[in-house]
Amino acid sequence: MRSNPSLERTPSGMLRVPTVAAHVQRQKSETHIAPSPMPSRLRSLTTVSAAVVLAVAVVATGCGKKPAASVTFKANSPIPVGFTLLKADGQIGRSGAISNNYRPQVRFPRGTTETTCAVALPASSPALEPGQTTDASLACDSQVEVEPSKLEFTVFEGGKQVGQGAVRLP
């Protein structure tokens, strides 16, 4: 039988097994590190550089972050927005003003369908002229989902783009 140098016999003949801590300490003392041809300052710098590169890669890929949850607005509930009515220019825009309760087709980035929405203008401006921007709210006929990273929407009238805007999340 092979003898194990870490095992000892007690005076009564029982085997004494070393603790885990004693075993780890013995392993550390027996571990030999080969001398590195790289100076210690450069070795430290290389380790720090590798850590920085790894941290940048994690941040750049978005690892470790939860994707932002989308916000759902129920049908006919007010959606706060910044709204711009585009000036007529070729195939886009509009030449006349809009008033409260204007009902265009609105396309949000999440989902490919358009929905009809009523535009509620602020009391301070009963009409919105082409080229103007205002805070308003939309009340859409169907439920709308918006991702915090994609708040923009496009407004259409008869298939022609007449406005644009962005949802203002609470």
Side-chain half-sphere of 90: how many Cα atoms within 13 Å? 1
Buried b (16+ CB within 10 A) or exposed e, 68-79: eeebebeeeeeb
Domains annotated for the chain, with CATH where assigned, are 72-167 (2.40.30.10)
Residue 69's pLDDT is what?
85
- Separation in Å, CA 39 to CA 25, 49, 140: 27, 15, 67
Q: Name the β-bridge partners of 84.
A: 133, 164
Distance CA 104, CA 154 (A): 10
Q: Name the β-bridge partners of 78.
A: 139
Tokens encoding 170: 């609470």
Helices (H) and strands (E) in the chain, counts: 2, 12
Distance CA 151, CA 109 (A): 8
Residues in the chain predicted with pLDDT less than 50, given as ranges, are 45, 48, 50-59
Distance CA 112, CA 61 (A): 27
Query: Could you count the other beta carbons within 10 Å of the beta carbon of residue 108?
Result: 24
Residue 53's pLDDT is what?
44
Residue 58's pLDDT is what?
45
